[in-house]
Structure 1
Amino acid sequence: MAKTLKSCLQILLKLVNSTIGIVGISMIIYSMWMARVWQRHMEGSSDDFFRFSVLWFILGFLGIGITLVAITSFGHIAAHTTNAHCLSYYMVAIFFLLLVETALVADIILNSDWEEDFPEDPTGRFDDFKDFVKSNFNTCQWIGLFMVLAQGCSIVLATVLRTLEKDQARYCESDEDNTAPSLPFLYHPVEPLPYIAADLPAAPTSLYWC
């Protein structure tokens, strides 16, 4: 029963963790597309300022995507091995990711001038992305909620799997402690009983004359 429950938790953690990886891969592909479009735009431009400007939005999008893919890969390893330390590190990474996302959402909601916190984007992709989010706000909202829910479920599943793994380890250790004292009795050599040779009485001599 415990092995079946453990296998189900491993499968569920891998499935939930895969959603984070899909979002990360999508962000990597989108950032590569933006970089390609910017490169084509720069081929026909002679402005050195825009040519050597820092593409912070594209690089930031690419960095976030790579981070999500790395966390997903580590989560798959932790779910497959069910190592307590790997699961703990995975939970810390997901929790830190949730804190960063909460801080960004709080800054956007509470700060009306949140756009001024970011430097100017020479590519213009930041404005395009912002307009896309505004025009598809309901869809983006559901995607964000789904991501947060997936991350929360990942933490819960990793916690349960880590607790189950620790309980199994303690049970195995207790079994070893209980069986260890009984081993000397199982392999205790049995000493043979002492053998005493007794002198039988001699037969009467009269029997030999008959």
Structure 2
Amino acid sequence: MAKTLKSWLQILLKLVNSTIGIVGISMIIYSMWMARVWQRHMEGSSDDFFSFSVIWFILTFLGIGITLCAISSFGHIAAHTANTHCLSCYMVAIFLLLLVETTLMADIILNSDWEEDFPEDPTGRFDDFKDFVKSNFNTCQWIGLFMFLAQGCSIVSATFLRTLEKRQARYCESDEDDIAPSLPFLYHPVEPLPCTVADLPGAPSSLYWC
């Protein structure tokens, strides 16, 4: 029963963790597309394409995508191995990710001038992204909610899997402790029976009876 439950938890963790990886890959592809468009726009210009102060939005988008893919890969390894230390590190990473996302959402909702907190983006990609979100607000809202649920399910699944793995480890250790004292009795040497010599008529001069 414990093995079956462990297998289902591993499958569930891999499924919900895959959604984080899919979002990360999508962000990487979108950031590469934005970088390509900006590179074409900057051809023949004296501006530095690789300036961090100019393309901060594209680089930020790319960094977030790489981070999500890294977390998803680490979560897949943790789910496959069911190692308690890997699961703990994965849970901490997901918790920090949720904390950052909650902070950004709170800043956007509570602060009416949240756009002033970011530097100016000459590429225009930031404004295009805002317009896209506003025009497809319902779809983006459902995607964001789905991401939050996936991350929450990841933490819950990792917690249950970590607890189950710890219980199995303790059970195995207790079984070893119970078996260890009985080993000397299993391998206790048996002393041979004493041999006696008997003289019988019509038999050899001596026989050894053990």
TM over 0.5: yes
Paired positions, count: 200
Task: Say if 1:17 and 1:50 are closer, same or farther in 2 by CA, change over 3 A.
Answer: closer
Question: Following the alignment from structure 1 to structure 2, what is the Cα–Cα distance between the partners of residues 22 and 198?
Answer: 89
SS in 2 for 1:182: helix
1:48 corresponding residue in structure 2: 47
SS in 1 for 2:181: coil
Contact 2:74–2:90 (Cα < 8 Å) also in 1:
yes
Contact 1:50–1:122 (Cα < 8 Å) also in 2:
no
Question: Which deviates further from its counterpart, 57-66 or 186-195?
Answer: 186-195
Question: Following the alignment from structure 2 to structure 1, what is the Cα–Cα distance between the partners of residues 42 and 183?
Answer: 79
SS in 2 for 1:48: coil
Q: Which runs of 5+ in 1 are unaligned?
A: 201-210
Task: Say if 1:32 and 1:50 are closer, same or farther in 2 by CA, change over 3 A.
Answer: closer
Question: Following the alignment from structure 1 to structure 2, what is the Cα–Cα distance between the partners of residues 166 and 8?
Answer: 17
1:108 corresponding residue in structure 2: 108
Question: Following the alignment from structure 1 to structure 2, what is the Cα–Cα distance between the partners of residues 61 and 156?
Answer: 27
Question: Following the alignment from structure 2 to structure 1, what is the Cα–Cα distance between the partners of residues 134 and 34?
Answer: 19
Question: Following the alignment from structure 2 to structure 1, what is the Cα–Cα distance between the partners of residues 75 and 133?
Answer: 29
SS in 2 for 1:138: helix
The alignment status of 1:34 with 2:31, answered yes or no, reads: no
2:179 corresponding residue in structure 1: 179
Q: How far has the Cα of 1:117 moved from its partner?
A: 0.2
2:125 corresponding residue in structure 1: 125
RMSD: 1.8
| Matched residue type, 1:57 | F
Q: String of CA shifts for 1:148-186, please: whole Å, max 9, x gaps.
A: 000000000000000000000001001101011111111
Q: Sequence identity of aligned pairs in percent?
A: 88
Q: Which runs of 5+ in 2 are unaligned?
A: 201-210
Question: Following the alignment from structure 1 to structure 2, what is the Cα–Cα distance between the partners of residues 186 and 148?
Answer: 57
Contact 1:38–1:123 (Cα < 8 Å) also in 2:
yes
Question: Following the alignment from structure 1 to structure 2, what is the Cα–Cα distance between the partners of residues 48 and 168?
Answer: 60
Contact 1:20–1:147 (Cα < 8 Å) also in 2:
yes
Q: How far has the Cα of 1:199 moved from its partner?
A: 8.0
Task: Say if 1:121 and 1:191 are closer, same or farther in 2 by CA, change over 3 A.
Answer: same
Q: How does 1:1-210 map to 2 (within 5 A)?
A: 1-44=1-44, 46=45, 48=47, 54-197=54-197
Task: Say if 1:135 and 1:164 are closer, same or farther in 2 by CA, change over 3 A.
Answer: same
Larger Rg: 1
1:205 corresponding residue in structure 2: none
Q: How far has the Cα of 1:48 moved from its partner?
A: 3.3
TM-score calculated relative to the size of structure 1:
0.90
SS in 2 for 1:161: helix
Question: Following the alignment from structure 1 to structure 2, what is the Cα–Cα distance between the partners of residues 4 and 176?
Answer: 23
TM-score calculated relative to the size of structure 2:
0.90
Q: How far has the Cα of 1:3 moved from its partner?
A: 1.0
Contact 1:20–1:150 (Cα < 8 Å) also in 2:
yes
Q: How far has the Cα of 1:2 moved from its partner?
A: 1.1
Contact 1:42–1:51 (Cα < 8 Å) also in 2:
no
Question: Following the alignment from structure 2 to structure 1, what is the Cα–Cα distance between the partners of residues 102 and 56?
Answer: 21
Question: Following the alignment from structure 2 to structure 1, what is the Cα–Cα distance between the partners of residues 49 and 118?
Answer: 17
Q: How far has the Cα of 1:120 moved from its partner?
A: 0.1
Q: How far has the Cα of 1:194 moved from its partner?
A: 3.3
